Amino acid sequence: MKYWLFKTEPSCFSLQDLKERPEGIEPWDGVRNYQARNLLRDVVKPGDGVLFYHSNIPRPAVVGLARVVREGYPDATALNPESAHFDPRATEKDPVWYRVDIQYVCSLPAPITRQDMRCHPVLAGMDVLKKGNRLSVQPVSRQQWLAILSLAGLQDSLADCMDRAVQG
DNA sequence: GCCAACGTTGGC
DNA sequence: GCCAACGTTGGC
């Protein structure tokens, strides 16, 4: 299993929004970047862990955990002219864009801010901290994943439990 | 295929 | 609101 950081503007779609979906499940769609598309289509798999990150707010932070529950499949919003993510190049035969489904796992007792991450020897290397990084789907190491759980104040036993919850 | 112009992202 | 970084577009 692998770990990821999914970035979203909470004004657009927040962790709370995910939590309130039926069974806490929502398609992660509207991604229109080829590098992220390739990850969603080919690499992200059910059981993978997701750090849910809120961007473009006064204190951007990892705010919760989710898990992947469905592997990459065509992003139908690209086919819908009514959708903000409509792409005229997409067809049934060649969908161009892909999405996965994720499921809410938990909120962190306290968000882990960028400052928190910068101050941590393991987390300081995270892609999300790198200047100019705009990828909305970023790989995260297991070490980084566990460091987030630990920094969040989750006890080791609870962290293990969360880890298992993600694997499903 | 090059590259300048442009639009978007996103931290600060 | 500013601006750096990045991806995309389109003329040549």
Distance CA A105, CA A66 (A): 5
Task: Give the Å distances, CA to CA, from A142 to A59, A89, A126, A149.
Answer: 24, 37, 12, 11
> CA–C1' distance A134–C6 (Å)?
7
Q: Report which of residues 136-165 in chain A place their beta carbon less than 7 angstroms from any atom of strand B.
A: 136
DSSP for A68-125, written as a single string: EEEEEEE-GGGG-TTSTT--TT--SS----EEEEEEEEEEEEEEEEHHHHHTSTTGGG
Residues of chain A with pLDDT under 70: 157
Distance CA A77, CA A86 (A): 6
Distance CA A162, CA A134 (A): 28
> CA–C1' distance A37–B10 (Å)?
20
pLDDT score recorded for residue A103: 98
pLDDT score recorded for residue A155: 72
CATH 3.30.70.2190 fits A3-167, yes or no: no
The domain spans of chain A are 3-167
pLDDT score recorded for residue A16: 98
Nucleotides in chain B with any atom closer than 7 Å to protein CB:
8-12
pLDDT score recorded for residue A154: 78
pLDDT score recorded for residue A5: 98
Query: For residue A37, what are the contacts with CB-CB under 8 A and spacing of at least 6?
Result: A31, A96, A97, A98
Q: Report which of residues 97-126 in chain A place their beta carbon less than 7 angstroms from any atom of strand B.
A: 114
pLDDT score recorded for residue A166: 78
Q: Does the pTM exceed 0.85?
A: yes
